[in-house]
Amino acid sequence: MNYVVVDFEWNQAAYGRHPEGRRLPFEIIEIGAVLLDENLNEIDRFSETIRPKVYRKLHHVTRDLTGITQEELNRSDPFPYIAVDFMLWCGEDFTFCTWGDTDLIELQRNLKYYHLQDLLEGPIRYYNIQKMFKALCQPEVSAASLESAIDYFGLPKDDAFHRAVNDAAYTAEIFRQLDLEKCDKLYSVDYYQNPKCREEELHLNYEDGYKYVSREFRNKEEAMADKEVRATRCFICGRAARKKLFWFTGKAKGCYCLAWCPEHGYLQGRIRIKHTDEDAIYVVKTLRLADEEAADRIREMKQDVIQKRRERRHRIVSESKAGKSAGKNRKKAAEQ
């Protein structure tokens, strides 16, 4: 199996809103990639700029950041030609590697816009080198830039950043510094092409947790009524974990729960509601082991939710009483 370390540069509307902004918020204008063999030796490189169709004027921020010029784009081929060439260049047996989790989303969205989804079927198993670098080298850092990771390993910076093939090459260099066996356990799955039926739902087991990606539902209420969505089985032993706190809406509109496995202790659950481009929803549920401190944080979050709910009810009741009192006073004044 080979590895395709890929990076994209994209353009957007130069003057705010655009009619195609919902379907294609970012239009890919450059593809850069490095092909590695199973031993991470470089085999080949791919580098092409793309003539845009939607956002034809190069945004000044994109121009200043990348150094790509309008003239360079104007003499390039359109996306469908480059996309077909790129996917053929990737071959058949490969794994994508990216710096971050947005590149593959935008690639699939661009393919979808041009009705080329069949070139890349999802969900896609891939390596997020940024996530792996953080987990293995800098777990205390919230997010690492590509350049800071290069500096961390003391690697040379001979080429400019923010050109696709250069960034792909830098990402490949960082990948070589990591433990490949450990990386294989930290794989990611991109589910922009989300499951459409129960048979396609994803059940992903990691060393430190479990992730479930559901089929589509019409709304949140329908999703939360589903038994598989609400389930809290221990991902280590497979036993049903008894809920200590049932699912509730907490921070950032996520849903949380706390469960107990007699053999492995607390499990903390989180559900995020994701929206498709067609306004359907699906669920991403994660379960992880939790110590007493983490369990207390979930309990405190639940108490905060209850307290805010009480305060909101109290405010509504007070405002209602005040409104009725004011109405009575106006009626008395009118009668006098």
Does residue 269 carry a pLDDT above 80?
Answer: yes
Instruction: Give the per-residue pLDDT at 20.
Output: 80
**C-alpha pair distances (Å), 323 with each of 291, 332, 335:** 48, 14, 19
Q: What is the average pLDDT across 273-288?
A: 94
Q: What percent of the chain has pLDDT over 90?
A: 84
Instruction: Give the per-residue pLDDT at 319.
Output: 76
Q: What is the average pLDDT across 255-266?
A: 96
Q: Of 3-7, 104-108, 209-213, 313-317, which range is least confident?
A: 313-317
Does residue 225 carry a pLDDT above 90?
Answer: yes
Q: What is the average pLDDT across 138-143?
A: 87
Does residue 14 carry a pLDDT above 90?
Answer: no
Is it true that the peptide bond before 156 is cis, omega within 30 degrees of 0?
no
Average pLDDT, the chain: 93
Per residue in 19-59, pLDDT (tens digit) is 888 889 999 999 999 999 999 999 999 999 999 999 999 99
Q: DSSP letter string over 6-17?
A: EEEEEE--TTS-
Q: What domains, with CATH codes, occur in the chain? A: 2-189 (3.30.420.10), 195-299 (no CATH)
Cα(294)–Cα(79) distance, rounded to whole angstroms?
47
Does residue 314 carry a pLDDT above 90?
Answer: no
Instruction: Give the per-residue pLDDT at 336.
Output: 61
Helices of type H across the chain: 60-66, 70-74, 79-90, 103-113, 129-136, 146-152, 164-177, 180-184, 220-224, 227-230, 292-335
Cα(45)–Cα(99) distance, rounded to whole angstroms?
17
Instruction: Give the per-residue pLDDT at 331.
Output: 66
Does residue 322 carry a pLDDT above 80?
Answer: no
Instruction: Give the per-residue pLDDT at 318.
Output: 78
Cα(267)–Cα(187) distance, rounded to whole angstroms?
22
Does residue 241 carry a pLDDT above 90?
Answer: yes
Instruction: Give the per-residue pLDDT at 16.
Output: 67
User: At 100, which amino acid appears?
Assistant: G
Asked if 285 and 270 count as a contact pair (C-beta separation under 8 A), the reply is: yes
Does residue 193 carry a pLDDT above 90?
Answer: yes
Per residue in 55-113, pLDDT (tens digit) is 999 999 999 999 999 999 999 999 999 999 999 999 999 999 999 999 999 999 999 99
User: At 74, which amino acid appears?
Assistant: N
Does residue 127 carry a pLDDT above 90?
Answer: yes
Residue 292, C-beta contacts closer than 8 angstroms, at least 6 positions apart? 266
Query: What separation, in Å, do the N-terminal and C-terminal C-alpha atoms of the chain show?
Result: 90
Tokens of 240: 């049903």
| 226 CA to centre of own chain | 23
- Pick left, alpha or beta for residue 30 (phi over 0 → left; psi -120 to 50 → alpha; otherwise beta): beta
